[in-house]
Structure 1
Amino acid sequence: MSTNTEIKKNYQFIKFKKLVIVSVIIGFLSAFLGIVLKNATEYYESIFFHRAETNAVFFIIFPFFGLSIIYFLRQYLFKKKENKGIKEIFESVSSKTKNLPSYKIPSHFINGLLTVVSGGSTGIEVSTVVATATIGAVAQRKHNMFRQYKTELICAGIAAGITVLFSSPIAGILFSLEVISKKLTRTFILTTGIAVIIASALSFLLHEKPLFAVNITTWHLKAIPYFILLGVLSAIYSIYLTRCVLFFKSYFSKINEPYYKIIVGSVLLSISFFIFPQLYGEGYHAIKTVIFNSNDTTLTLSLALTFFGITILKPIATSATLAAGGDGGVFAPSLFIGAFLGLLLALLLNRYTNADVIPLNFMIIGMAAVLSASIHAPFTALFLVCGLTNNYTLFFPILIVCLISKYTAKMIYPFTVYNYSPSLVK
């Protein structure tokens, strides 16, 4: 008995040691991929966007050029298979036979980069999530001992990727738990914990900075009713975004010729960019333009119409991008819509009700609220936005508004772009 017990203990120790080692490797590779993709996208997007600003004809050329390259890469390099985004991960973790093939790493990396750089009105977050999930899936297949930990190792890769994108290890863990795993185990804690520690260390060594480091000093209790209003509006906008994406994908699926999809999508994007150049790419450049001066912004009719138009057209531009073959998801669009929705609401309240609210606070809370409602993950949205801004002053109001927006959205329309299936509504 003692010999059997000792053998069992030794086996458990060896398994633990190997899980630690593989988690370190997954964390490093996923973080490295995320950092490279983030910086490459930001660098080249700014170059392409500046070129289009100086010569508007590129607002027509770039989307068509980018979507065409993505199509040819899929046809001749990536096995003629479209990227399904996070649904690919769901299919993998829920099945013992379906796996994320290794070509998904370069496929999502290259296509995500091309999509955003050429103006696709989405972000690299979903591309990063699927690519890093594939790193975990490939590692899981390398050793028989890891076969039973498929979900945990996939989540470790995802958590590391989210950590470096948003400077928030907690958001990485929570996204893996709330959206992918939905089950907390000791192995999950071990693998994702190690992966995000490695990712955080790599971010620190490479001096990665939060995307929107802002100085938030206070918030007022009198603003709570207005925060609740923002939560409800965010839920409505998230449903609008979700329904737009689903509608466009359904409509474009009826177009048999792939190049017609590219042409229609490119035309819609070009028109959007001509009306509002802020819709080009991820849109983070547009958020940065207004976020640091938001408290000094004066509302005018033209500004109000601009912000309203941006929040209405962004879901359409995002949907056209994805339906035409672009790679991405609703992370960046949700943050973008939330920022401008929050700012517009704050300016309207100050102008017409003398509410004296802080516009910057509404931008930050709006970002979290729309994201929470779009992916049904309030705690992920909370820590993700706090990490993005490197500020936790608004922790409590963000938490309340994220919960309100999620459950309001779920009550009105129970699906997200990730869990929707036509069979569920029959």
Structure 2
Amino acid sequence: MNNTARIKKNFTFIKYQKLITVSVLVGFLSSFLAISLKRLTEHYEEIFLDKANLNNVYFIVLPAIGLSVIYFLRHYLFKKKENKGIREIFDTTAERKNSLPLYKIPSHFINGLITVVFGGSTGIEVSTVVASATIGSVAQEKENVFNRHKTELICAGVAAGITALFCSPFAGILFAWEVISKKISKTFLITGGVSVAVALGFIYFLNEKPLFTVTLNGWHWQAIPYFILLGIIAGMNSVYLTKCVLFFKKRFGKIEKHPNRIFFAAVILSVSLLLLPQLYGEGYHAIKENIVHSNDLTFTITLALTFLGIIIMKPIVTSATLAAGGDGGVFAPSIFIGGFVGLLLAICLNTFFDAGVIPLNFMILGMGAMLSASIHAPLTAIFLTCGLVNDYSLFIPICIVCLVAKYTAKMIYPFTVYTYQPKPTL
């Protein structure tokens, strides 16, 4: 071996040694951030929601307070720049010179927490994704040898954050590939694999539990036509969610004074929460309540109207929250809407067609189907849904509904909130 080959081999060895070391650090910091944000949000959201249920005045004042605090934080603390969600990551990975500034970590962490805790109808997933991506971006800037691997290190942070949130390493690495990177390389697999392994060890050390505690009892092949129907309905609903978000952002963008945006969004949120408290924050509390009683629910006009109201209003309140400056995205709303779509469909099928389907199964399948269609990432949705309940017994039905939902949505409307690009105005 000549000197040139030996030097090249040594450089490659040192480079990967450094990449593995920094991936360990990125994985630890990203998973620690994700779990901290999740636990803080769950704790304070429960407290605030209990207060609001005891006194409905809080449903009126909390959203306005939360959105106002976020506005002042951005104006005076976070360089007067609005958070653009996952779009920020796309902009960074598209240009080698771009990077995610360090302040994005506290910005998304604090604003994501305040948005959900004060009743903003979104979730912390996108806040976690951007904050953990920033950890990877900052790490990339510390060594010249990492200059060509910015996307891989950003994806390592994202993968670790998603893994920690949903206790699903496959969902973490697949989300980083399907949504962020769009391509796989040896470096991607090394950095992502190491960071996800660290995140997985961290959640086992902390004994993190899956988001939903359920006992599943299998499924039947005869239900496949109903799974396909659920996938189609979820795909249609995802397009409604996407178009709602885009419509509200466009309309609110025409309101020049930000306090006016906050006022209109707060009115929409307050009225909606007074009518349907299930819409408060992430909404996982409502999902958990219905999971317990899902197989015992029977069709009534009141139940059908309540579920329809939730399915119709959730995209509206989510869109208003985001358009007024709230931090978040469509991740949690998709899971929330999908759960209610699946449950309502199962109850209707059993009541009017004597289908004999299992409502709990349809709740879980609906979550995956709606998420798959909303972000056009079926593989992520499949493994994330299994991680939500820590059970793979519905793996085949989840694959069916996720694929059907994604392609249904894509046929109706080819964009997601992540990929839509507004037409330039002359």
Bucket of the pairwise TM-score, normalised by the shorter protein = over 0.9
Q: Does 1:338 align with 2:338?
A: yes
SS at match of 2:423: helix
Give the superposition deviation at 1:324. 0.7
Quote the Cα distance in structure 2 between the aligned partners of 1:323 and 1:265: 8
Matches of 2:259 and 2:281, distance apart in 1: 21
Aligned residue number for residue 223 of structure 1 = 223
SS in 2 for 1:79: coil
After superposition, the C-alpha distances for 1:103-140 in whole angstroms (9 at most, x for unaligned) are: 00000000000000000000000000000000000000
The equivalent residue for 1:299 is 299
Q: How many residues end up aligned between the 2 structures?
A: 426
Per-residue CA deviation, residues 300-348 of structure 1 (Å, 9 max, x unaligned), is 1101110111000000010010001100000000000000000000000
- Asked if the contact 1:31–1:202 (Cα under 8 Å) also holds between the matched residues in 2, the reply is yes
Q: CA deviation at 1:148?
A: 0.2
Superposed CA deviations along residues 59-102 of structure 1, whole A, max 9, x for unmatched, are 01110000000000000000000000000000000112221111
Check whether the contact 1:282–1:333 (CA below 8 A) recurs between aligned residues.
yes
**Which residue matches 1:213?**
213
Deviation of residue 424 (structure 1)? 8.7
Q: Structure 2 matches for 1:147-166, cutoff 5 A?
A: 147-166=147-166
Question: What residue in structure 1 maps to residue 267 of structure 2?
Answer: 267
Query: Aligned residue for 1:109?
Result: 109
1:371 is aligned to 371
**Partners of 2:118 and 2:380 in 1: CA distance:** 29
> Partner amino acid for 1:149?
H
Residue of structure 1 in register with 2:409 after alignment: 409
* Long gaps (5+) in structure 2: none
RMSD of equivalent CA atoms? 1.1
CA separation in 1, counterparts of 2:203 and 2:56?
Answer: 36
Cα drift, residue 213 of structure 1? 2.4
Q: How does 1:220-299 map to 2 (within 5 A)?
A: 220-299=220-299
Distance 2:410 2:425 in 1: 14
- The CA deviation string for residues 131-164 of structure 1, in whole angstroms up to 9 with x for no partner, is 0000000000110000000000000000000001
Task: Name the aligned partner's letter for residue 195 of structure 1.
Answer: S
Q: Distance in 2 between matches of 1:47 and 1:425?
A: 46
Matched letter for residue 13 of structure 1: F
Secondary structure of the corresponding residue to residue 292 of structure 1: helix
Matches within 5 A, 1:11-410: 11-410=11-410
CA distance in 1: counterparts of 2:306 and 2:425, whole angstroms: 36
Equivalent-residue separation in structure 1 for 2:178 and 2:124 (angstroms):
20
Partner secondary structure for residue 213 of structure 1? coil
Deviations 1:40-72 (A, max 9, x none): 000000000000000000001110000000000
- Specify the SS of the correspondent of 1:155: helix
Q: Deviations over 1:256-307 (max 9, x none)?
A: 0100000100010001101100000000000000112211112211011101
The offset of 1:217, in angstroms, is 2.1
Report deviation, 1:423: 2.4
Partner of 1:8: 8
Question: Aligned partner of 1:232: which letter?
Answer: I
2:127 aligned counterpart, secondary structure: helix
Paired amino acid for 1:362? F
Within 2, Cα distance between the matches of 1:15 and 1:352? 63
Distance in 1 of aligned mates of 2:351 and 2:241? 28
Task: Please say if residues 386 and 392 of structure 1, whose CA atoms lie closer than 8 Å, have aligned partners that are also in contact.
Answer: yes
Query: Is the CA contact 1:121–1:281 (under 8 Å) kept in the aligned structure 2?
Result: yes
Q: TM-score, normalised by structure 2?
A: 0.99
Distance 1:134 1:375 in 2: 21
C-alpha distance in 2, partners of 1:152/1:362?
36
Contact 1:213 / 1:391 at 8 angstroms: preserved in 2?
no
C-alpha deviation, 1:206, in angstroms: 0.7
| Separation in structure 2 between the aligned mates of residue 156 and residue 213 of structure 1, nearest angstrom | 28
1: CA distance between counterparts of 2:4 and 2:130? 41
Q: What amino acid maps onto 1:139 in structure 2?
A: A
Render the CA deviation track for 1:169-195: whole Å, top value 9, x for unaligned. Answer: 000000000000000000000000000
Q: Quick check: 48-57 or 296-305, which moved more?
A: 296-305
Paired with 1:292 and 1:17, the residues of 2 have a C-alpha distance of: 48
- Cα-to-partner distance string for 1:183-219 (whole Å, 9 max, x where unaligned): 0000000000000000010001011100112111210
Question: d(CA) in 2 for partners of 1:282 and 1:258?
Answer: 24
Closer, same or farther in 2 for the Cα pair 1:425/1:214, shift >3 Å?
A: farther
Give a deviation string over 1:22-50, Cα, whole Å, max 9, x none.
00000000000000000000000000000
Identity across the alignment (%): 64
Partner SS state of residue 93, structure 1: helix
